[in-house]
């Protein structure tokens, strides 16, 4: 099922499957969100919980037991319940059940809330630990945005432009998508990454210590998408490698995937959120549409 929220500037559709965004349209009808294509990537904007990307061998350990789940966790594969809906706001929820407990042994409540204010789409993720034991998790986003955005422009006319100067490092990934040792300084002349399709031939660009706001923009159009992610340590950029895919994913992550060759113990992976029993945690990120 899909839900529509709207205001004077934006019309947004959300699927109950994974609480995934399926459309972001401006008032003039321009579609900014990738609409999916089996030749490249069929998703639109998966939500990530409770783990980013891939587990080594598809599994992890906790308290001496072994568990596992699919790429980017549990939420993207499940139907969420609509808990509250207004004209410009909707909240969807997934509560732990027997199926999730077999893969992830925590009594959680995951809530994703989308709301509109002017030309800004706000996304709030809330996680509650209803159990007694400490819970370990990650959250993130994986929205794809159409590039080019305007008729008469090409993919190479666009760039990723960070809002502030910073000195980021690139996380090194194996062909499997697992993290490998070491980091490389990632130079950002004039705070930009020019877009070209072979930029992603070796999979995602994942940065740490980057500015926490980035825009997809071009000098040839006023249309732009700006993603702000103040609470997220990592930011990834991706499209399907070795293709001319007409989109770019902007992916805020709270933590990294598993290390190459290591089946992670969740309690020992230091970049995960650790939430004590009975506590609640939340984070907000936004997408602003201009043009």
CA distances from 41 to 35, 46, 262 (A): 9, 12, 28
Q: What is the CA radius of gyration of the chain?
A: 19
**pLDDT band, residue 265 (cuts 50/70/90):** very high
Q: What is the 3-state secondary structure (H, E, C) of 203-265?
A: CCEEEECCCCEEEEEECCEEEEEEEECCCCCEEEEECCCCCCCCEEEEEEECCCCCECCCCCE
Identify the burial level of 175 via C-beta atoms within 10 angstroms of its C-beta, where 0-12 means exposed, 13-18 middle and 19 or more buried. exposed
What is the total count of domains within the chain? 1
Domain of residue 210, residue span: 2-290
Alpha-helix runs per DSSP H in 18-164: 98-103
pLDDT, position 131: 96
Q: How far is CA 161 from the centre of its chain?
A: 18
80-95 tens-digit pLDDT: 999 999 999 999 999 9
Confidence band (pLDDT; 50, 70, 90) for 162? very high
Q: Which tens digit of pLDDT belongs to each residue from 203-250?
A: 999 999 999 999 999 999 999 999 999 999 999 999 999 999 999 999
CATH of the domain at 143: 2.70.98.10
Which of 149, 143, 148 has its CA nearest to residue 229?
Answer: 143
Structure tokens that stand for 201 in this block: 């031939």
Report pLDDT for 92: 98
- List CB contacts of 290: < 8 A, sequence separation 6 or more: 119, 222, 223, 224, 225, 226
Closest CA to 150 of 38, 45, 29: 29
The model's confidence at residue 147, banded by pLDDT at 50, 70 and 90, is very high
Do the Cβ atoms of 137 and 272 come closer than 8 Å?
A: yes
């Amino acid at each position: 099922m899909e839900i529509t929220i709207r205001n004077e500037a934006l019309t947004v559709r959300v699927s109950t499957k994974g609480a995934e965004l399926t459309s972001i349209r401006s008032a003039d009808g321009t579609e900014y969100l990738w609409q999916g294509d089996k030749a490249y990537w069929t998703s639109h904007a998966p939500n990530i919980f409770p783990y980013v990307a891939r587990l080594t061998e598809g599994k992890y350990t906790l308290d001496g037991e072994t568990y596992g789940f699919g790429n980017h966790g549990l939420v993207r594969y499940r139907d969420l319940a609509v808990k509250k809906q207004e004209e410009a706001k909707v909240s969807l929820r997934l509560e732990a059940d027997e199926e999730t407990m077999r893969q992830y042994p925590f009594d959680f409540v995951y809530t994703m809330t989308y709301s509109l204010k002017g030309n800004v789409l706000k996304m709030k993720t809330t996680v509650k630990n209803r159990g007694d034991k400490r819970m370990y998790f990650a959250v993130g986003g994986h929205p794809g945005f159409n590039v080019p955005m305007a008729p008469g422009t090409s993919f190479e006319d666009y760039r990723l432009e960070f809002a502030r100067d910073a000195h980021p490092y690139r996380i090194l990934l194996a062909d499997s998508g697992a993290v490998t040792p070491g980091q490389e300084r990632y130079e950002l002349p004039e705070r930009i990454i020019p877009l070209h399709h072979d930029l992603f031939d070796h999979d995602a660009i994942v940065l740490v210590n980057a500015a926490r706001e980035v825009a997809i923009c071009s000098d040839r159009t006023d249309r732009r998408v700006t993603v702000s992610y103040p609470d997220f340590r990592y930011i990834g950029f991706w499209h399907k490698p070795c293709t001319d895919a007409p989109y770019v994913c902007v992916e805020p992550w709270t933590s990294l995937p598993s290390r190459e060759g290591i089946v992670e113990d969740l309690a020992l992976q230091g970049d995960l959120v650790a939430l004590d029993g009975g506590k609640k945690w939340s984070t907000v990120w936004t997408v602003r549409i201009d043009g």
